[in-house]
Amino acid sequence: MTEFGNSLIYDIEIAKAILGRGETRVDGIQYCDGWHDHAGMGISVIGAYDYAESRYRVFCRDNFEEFFALCADRAPLVSFNGIGFDDKVLACESGFTDGFFPDVTRYDLLAEIWRAAGLDPTFGGNSHTGYGLDATCEVNFGIRKSGNGAHAPIAWQQGRIGEVIDYCINDIRLTKRLFDWAVIHGEEIALAKTGESVRLRSLEQVEHPFID
């Protein structure tokens, strides 16, 4: 098995909607208290790509435990803003009191892009706009997200389950495309915000995740 052969890419979709600025509530839709309310969001779908088995996987509430078991057996855990968001929601969902698998090696592509851009790569309240997954993949590969993640909870609660699963898996495909190109093959990428060409760190160079 190669150094990448035990990698797991993951992404979550939240179950409760978040009211955006200037938006009005949709009748019959449950909302959490905002992007900081990790315990109140809930999870509708977890998408993953398992390099060990070379396949995409979908986890819903009835098999979240399978996803948690998979994470315990894979490394690195690869994400785009996973440390800053997904892991916090997953820690609440799983009931893990010490965080979501804090001892497992992480590779957060957003943190690595920030670092390559010369920005603070930690998630201790910092945010640098213009470096998102959608913009990064559009600039480098000409592909984009299939929807808006903020709309996924509404679709889920309205019973459009397949739509949410498709959206989540498409995000996994984009993340995998970026990880394969920039990390596995070590190719340069263009920063969406500036157009500058940068090279992301390899797995060997990432000794620990950027956690505040």
CB neighbours (10 Å) of residue 93?
22
pLDDT of residue 204: 87
H helix intervals, 17-151: 38-41, 64-72, 87-94, 109-116, 133-141
pLDDT of residue 1: 45
Average confidence (pLDDT) per 10 residues, the chain, 212 residues: 80 96 92 95 98 97 95 95 94 84 91 93 74 96 86 96 97 98 97 96 74 42
DSSP string, 42-68: -EEEEEEEETTTTEEEEE-GGGHHHHH
pTM score, whole prediction: 0.92
Tell whether domain 8-205 is in CATH 3.30.420.10: yes
Identify whether 153 is preceded by a cis peptide bond (ω within 30 of 0): no
- Amino acid identity, position 67: F
43: left (phi over 0), alpha (psi -120 to 50) or beta: beta
Burial of 116-136, coded b for 16+ CB within 10 Å and e otherwise, reads bbeeebbbeeeeeeebbbbbb
pLDDT of residue 197: 98
Encoding tokens for residue 209? Answer: 């995740």
Domain boundaries, the chain: 8-205
Distance between CA atoms of residues 137 and 133, nearest Å = 6
